[in-house]
Structure 1
Amino acid sequence: MSTSQASPEYTLYLFWISYFSGKMQAYLNYKRIPHRCVEPQWSGELLREILPNTGLMKVPVLRTPLGEWLADSTPMIDWLEARHPDGKVIPDDPVQAFFCRLLEDYADEWLWRPALHYRWSYTTDQQALSRRFAETFLSSQPAPNFITAALVRRRQRLIYVDGDGVTAQTRAHVESIYLDTLDRLQKIFEHQDFLLGDKPCLADYGFFASMFRHFSLDPTPSLIMQQRAPAVFAWVARLWNARHDDAQLGHWCAAGELPPGWDAIIGDIGAAYLPYLLANARAWRDGRRHFDITIQGTGYRKLPVVQYRVWCRERLQQHYAALPDAQRAAVDDRLIAANALEPLLADGRIASGLYDDVEPPLCKPRRYGRLEMLRRFFSGTHWRVPVARA
């Protein structure tokens, strides 16, 4: 359902404090893709325009100049790369392209838990961000701001902290994901401007999602970044300001090669993220809603099964299967060294069913009755509940 007339520019619907909104803003800016940014109201554009056109009450979403609606930052970037080739962020080299996709997926999904933990577990952070919620896209709610902010704090903590496996027993490990990532990135950015060399690649934008809107701006993790990893703090600003036609930008490293600092990150992926994706996919296949897993010696209990992350694993397997034989051997060597090949391929393809009726990032419009609109007004779209697309 799109009644809007074609516009010469894209419209990016976003929240200015949103994880993936910052990623898409930086990417669109780098590519110099004409766009305008709109922060929707919960009971306004989000409910009445974005939901009917995407089936989601989430941002970022993108409306194209032709009136198409796009959602999900990872396939959105693929879609835009094909239509705006200047300043490409995905290398032509198959080895580099595969590992860029692997690091982007890891950064998007595995840094989510610590990013939401720091925002909603620490008093200073939750007070500041809940106030931001209340004064912007929830400002049309009838309750006073202090009540709205308190409700936001309770909801966000229940869903993204208590409901996502962050407990007294797991908290140190959750925070170590952030701290270790800072250390990995600090070593890289002490020697080069971006992850793959002297210009941004897809992996940069994966890490930027959490490192910009959450870790570099929320009070507690921002102070940690400034003190522990100043080169990462500088990279955040550098990537935000990067434009593909800047004459000062250089090149990626030679085809077939990866910077030495990537090995430690791929090691983290093999030790933690891919085993998690495998366990999540098995639980989805078995029809479970929760699962237990021990990651790097820390036991997580009753983690929610996330359909989207079953699709993430499918997609990584597809990119792996598409590698030419010669390049697959080189990829295998790195994955085996990181204990990452087995959890990537174990049990074969476990189908998510997430996008069976639509090709992402394109969205299908859907009609909602009054009762369903009322339900969505109060519940929104839960981040981990399976998505039904009409």
Structure 2
Amino acid sequence: MNSDPARPLRVYGSEISYFTGKLEGYLRYKEIPYERIATTRRHWQRIIPKETGVAQMPAVELPDGRWITDTTPIIDWLETQWPEPAVIPRDPLQGFVSRLLEDYADEWLWRPALHYRWSYRGDALLLSRKIVDEILADLPLPGPLKRLAIRLRQQRGYVRGDGVTACTRSHVEDVYLKTLAHLEAILATRPFLFGERPTLADFGFFASMFRHFGLDPTPSAIMRSRAPAVWEWVARVWNARASRTRGALSNGIPNEWGPILDEIGSAYLPYLCANAEAWKAKQRRFDVTIQSVPYQDLPTSRYRVWCLERLRVHCNALAEAARREARALLERHGCWEPLWRVVDPDSGHDPEGRAPFAHGINVF
């Protein structure tokens, strides 16, 4: 891969985007030359869908003119081009668990991140202004009307449309609050989540913690008050550089990860199973009870069926001894059975394994 700083990667994204922030944190740490291109309406409606098959951020244009999409396979591929220092731990068990944690952080923290952004009036007013100023500045409509349209769209699609109701709101917020508490305990003993340098797990959690929870007024105030070590870690990840951020990773899977693995086993993987069953049944929406809380009329996500498939692929790729270790760990935390519960969760996405060069699919 050409790493000439005169020909950087072109990252099309937003300064308030969950996954753009995740990828930028990774690129900064690896010291991979890039420039962020503020996504305009023209990019969003024409260029990005044409090149990647889907209107989502970030989209990356490589120096050779190819395009890639979806941060998880993007990072996988970039690791083959800039292999040192590796962010996916070389220890097989740590490597698999870091992928599981990345997937959990990417997908399960999405709902609370969007809820805090669009359910709280002050946050919604601020962020709708930022979106309009960055992406819709050239749309010839009055600013207040554009901002109102953004707020209504986001609330309809990502709050009410993703199962946030009076019944579930407390549980949705608890996902964030418990994650803060668990990360605070982990960061009490190390600067990064697995040791002295960042790994894939750091960048997974960084996605929501940086440009949502750490940026939006309501959740950022909570973070500063309840989890100052997490607040500090967000800045540490953003400032980390491979040339100066060195050190060893912890041995194995530290015990402090137990509570988050418990959450994966009791909440996230059961959700993935219900979603996969709905996909197999060709249902556009489904109901599921998570930790005794009934979520109704959730949108079925083909992409998240693919997430479940990928977790299984990575588990099956482990050598026999590492797979036994992984099974023992996952069984202790209630993760093993739901990981394999659904028979043949076939998303049909990327059967040739071309991601991140394959055309992407929307999460919903």
Q: Same fold (TM over 0.5)?
A: yes
Distance 1:357 1:161 in 2: 34
CA offset at residue 135 of structure 1?
Answer: 1.2
CA offset at residue 362 of structure 1?
Answer: 0.3
Percent identity reads: 48
Distance 2:168 2:45 in 1: 36
The one-letter code matched in structure 1 to 2:288 is I
Equivalent residues of 1:170, 1:300 under 8 A apart = yes
Equivalent residues of 1:79, 1:361 under 8 A apart = yes
CA offset at residue 263 of structure 1?
Answer: 1.0
Secondary structure of the structure 2 residue equivalent to 1:23: helix
Cα gap change, 1:286 to 1:132, in 2 (>3 Å):
same
Secondary structure of the structure 2 residue equivalent to 1:192: coil
Secondary structure of the structure 2 residue equivalent to 1:161: helix
What pairs with 1:149-160 in structure 2 (closer than 5 Å)?
A: 149-160=147-158
Secondary structure of the structure 2 residue equivalent to 1:136: helix
Distance 2:362 2:333 in 1: 33
What pairs with 1:1-390 in structure 2 (closer than 5 Å)?
A: 8-42=7-41, 44-246=42-244, 248-254=245-251, 257-356=252-351, 359-363=354-358, 383-384=363-364
TM-score, length-normalised on structure 2?
0.96
CA offset at residue 204 of structure 1?
Answer: 0.5
Secondary structure of the structure 2 residue equivalent to 1:261: helix
Partner of 1:388: none
Equivalent residues of 2:168, 2:294 under 8 A apart = yes
Equivalent residues of 2:303, 2:362 under 8 A apart = no
Secondary structure of the structure 1 residue equivalent to 2:10: strand
Cα gap change, 1:364 to 1:121, in 2 (>3 Å):
closer
Equivalent residues of 1:189, 1:231 under 8 A apart = yes
Distance 2:357 2:107 in 1: 21
Aligned pair count reads 360
CA offset at residue 347 of structure 1?
Answer: 2.8
Distance 1:322 1:292 in 2: 32
Secondary structure of the structure 2 residue equivalent to 1:157: helix
1:256-297 Cα shifts (integer Å, max 9, x gaps): x11221111111000000000011001100111111111111
Partner of 1:370: none
Distance 1:251 1:54 in 2: 37
1:106-135 Cα shifts (integer Å, max 9, x gaps): 000000000000000000100000011111
Equivalent residues of 2:193, 2:201 under 8 A apart = yes
TM-score, length-normalised on structure 1?
0.90
CA offset at residue 356 of structure 1?
Answer: 3.3
Distance 1:344 1:364 in 2: 26
The one-letter code matched in structure 2 to 1:311 is W
Distance 1:358 1:45 in 2: 26
Secondary structure of the structure 1 residue equivalent to 2:211: helix
Distance 1:170 1:48 in 2: 37
Distance 2:122 2:363 in 1: 24
The one-letter code matched in structure 2 to 1:170 is T
Equivalent residues of 2:309, 2:346 under 8 A apart = yes
Equivalent residues of 1:358, 1:364 under 8 A apart = no
Long gaps (5+) in structure 1 = 1-6, 366-380, 385-390
Secondary structure of the structure 1 residue equivalent to 2:184: helix
